[in-house]
Each structure stands twice: as structure tokens, then as C-alpha cells.
């Protein structure tokens, strides 16, 4: 099992259970599990013959504000990607990342032309990617629903999966193209389109 970088605010759930603020972590983990069920991330099934369960773990984190005080607690169920079997649990895993040159050019164009620049964050972005491969994980221990002997067949990607970035990119492309945007030839992460006659 891979070690987490040394950060006293990030830990595995078995460590969080010994912390003085376990109740807050427990609530955060319950919210995470509720969110995974509500998002349709998986379906409970019997493990098919010949299939294996890919490792997963619940991670807990204290999120701090600018003044260093704990602002909120976070739970995240993550797959142990190093337990995946290549060409069985994952096929293609490559996903593009915006080039620094593209970002600099875009910022320069916006500054030079006096254009408005907006930014947004897609919460739990990777959880929107749709799975193409059959991957099974155990239910989060201590937070099981239904038959605890059944496993979760992933419908959507989880953090830690080798193909999570690719699944998210494909979902993002689908959404942007449905909104009238097209990928540019200079960078697969730069899309252009028109909104009300304005180039975006």
C-alpha cells in the first residue's frame, strides 16, 4: 500500500478513527458515501467468476482556511491504482493536460484585448467520468449498504483509477461539444465556440 505524503491533515481512515476529531471525520465520510450512492457511482453485484476486486481506501483530510483553522473535513474513497491489472482493469489511460504555452497565450490575448476571463471548478470532477472497463471494489468498510458480501461494480470513475483522468476528459469533451464548442487544433484542452455572437 502506497504511503501518503507526510501531512498531519491527510490520513487513512484507520488513523482518523484514533483522532480527537473523529466525529467530524465520520460525518465527512458519511457525506462522501452518500454522494457516491446518489451520483450512481456503482451498483452492488455479486463478484463474477474469474473477476478480482481492485483495492480501495477511504482517505480523510482536514481542510484549513487561510488563517490555519480547520474549515471543513473531507472524506474521499479512492482506488489503489497500483492494484489494477493493465489491459484488464484499464485499457487507455492517457488524458491531455493544458500546455503552459496555451495558458500564457490565452492570458496574453485576454489582457491585450481587454477580454473578460472567468474561472470555475468542477467539484468531484473525476466522479463524472463514465467507466468503459469492468472494475469492482469493496464497499467502504463500516459504511456498507445492503449485502456486505456484494461488491461495487463501478459505473463512474473514482479517484485513484488509472483511467479516471481520461474518463473525465471524454465526459468534458462531450459536454462542451453539446454546448457548441469545438476542440482547437493547437491544444486538445483549448476549446472555442460562440455565445450570443461572442467568441468564447
Q: What is the pLDDT of residues 141-197, one digit of tens each?
A: 999 998 989 999 999 999 888 888 888 999 999 999 999 999 999 899 999 998 888
Give the list of residues 6+ apart from residue 19 with CB closer than 8 angstroms, or none. 11, 25
- HEC per residue, the chain: CCCCCCCCCEEEHHHHCCCCCHHHHHHHHHHHHHHHHHCCCEEEECCCCCCCCCCEEEEEEEEECCCCCEEEEEEEEEECHHHCCECCCECCCCCCCCCHHHHHHHHHHHHHHCCCCCCCCCCCHHHHCECCCCCEECCCCCCCCCCCCCEEEECECCCCCCCHHHHHHHHHHHHHHHCCCEECCCCCCCEECEECCEEC
Q: What angle do CA 47, 29, 89 make, to 5 degrees?
A: 30
The better pLDDT of the pair 48, 1 is held by 48
Give the list of residues 6+ apart from residue 137 with CB closer than 8 angstroms, or none. 42, 53, 54, 55, 56, 79, 151, 152, 154, 158
Do 105 and 111 contact (CB within 8 A), yes or no? no
Do 29 and 143 contact (CB within 8 A), yes or no? yes
Question: Does the pLDDT value for residue 2 go beyond 70?
Answer: no
Query: pLDDT at position 87, please?
Result: 53
Query: pLDDT at position 88, please?
Result: 54
Query: pLDDT at position 160, please?
Result: 85
Residues above pLDDT 70, as percent of the chain: 91
Query: pLDDT at position 92, please?
Result: 66
Do 29 and 140 contact (CB within 8 A), yes or no? yes
What are the cell numbers at 3? 504511503
Query: pLDDT at position 37, please?
Result: 94
Query: pLDDT at position 85, please?
Result: 62
d(CA 35, CA 142): 16
Q: What is the pLDDT of residues 18-46, one digit of tens each?
A: 999 999 999 999 999 999 999 899 999 99
d(CA 156, CA 93): 15
Q: What is the pLDDT of residues 73-121, one digit of tens each?
A: 999 999 987 665 665 556 666 778 889 999 999 999 999 999 888 888 8
Do 41 and 160 contact (CB within 8 A), yes or no? no
Give the pLDDT band of residue 3 (cuts 50, 70, 90): low
Amino acid at each position: 500500500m502506497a504511503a501518503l505524503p507526510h501531512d498531519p491533515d491527510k490520513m487513512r481512515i484507520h488513523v482518523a478513527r484514533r483522532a480527537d476529531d473523529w466525529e467530524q471525520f465520520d460525518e465527512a465520510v458519511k457525506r462522501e458515501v452518500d454522494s457516491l450512492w446518489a451520483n450512481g457511482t456503482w451498483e452492488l453485484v455479486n463478484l463474477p467468476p474469474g473477476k478480482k476486486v481492485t483495492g480501495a481506501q477511504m482517505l480523510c483530510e482536514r481542510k484549513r482556511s487561510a488563517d490555519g483553522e480547520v474549515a471543513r473535513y473531507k472524506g474521499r474513497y479512492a482506488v489503489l491504482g497500483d492494484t489494477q491489472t493493465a489491459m484488464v482493469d484499464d485499457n487507455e489511460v492517457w488524458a491531455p493536460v493544458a500546455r503552459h504555452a496555451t495558458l500564457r497565450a490565452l492570458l496574453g490575448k485576454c489582457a491585450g484585448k481587454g477580454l473578460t476571463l472567468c474561472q470555475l471548478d468542477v467539484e468531484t470532477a473525476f466522479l463524472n467520468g463514465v467507466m468503459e472497463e469492468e472494475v469492482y471494489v469493496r464497499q467502504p468498510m463500516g459504511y456498507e449498504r445492503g449485502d456486505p458480501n456484494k461488491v461495487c461494480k463501478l459505473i463512474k470513475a473514482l479517484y485513484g483509477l488509472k483511467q479516471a483522468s481520461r474518463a473525465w476528459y471524454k465526459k468534458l469533451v462531450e459536454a462542451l461539444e453539446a454546448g457548441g464548442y469545438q476542440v482547437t487544433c493547437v491544444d486538445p484542452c483549448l476549446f472555442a465556440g460562440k455565445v450570443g455572437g461572442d467568441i468564447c
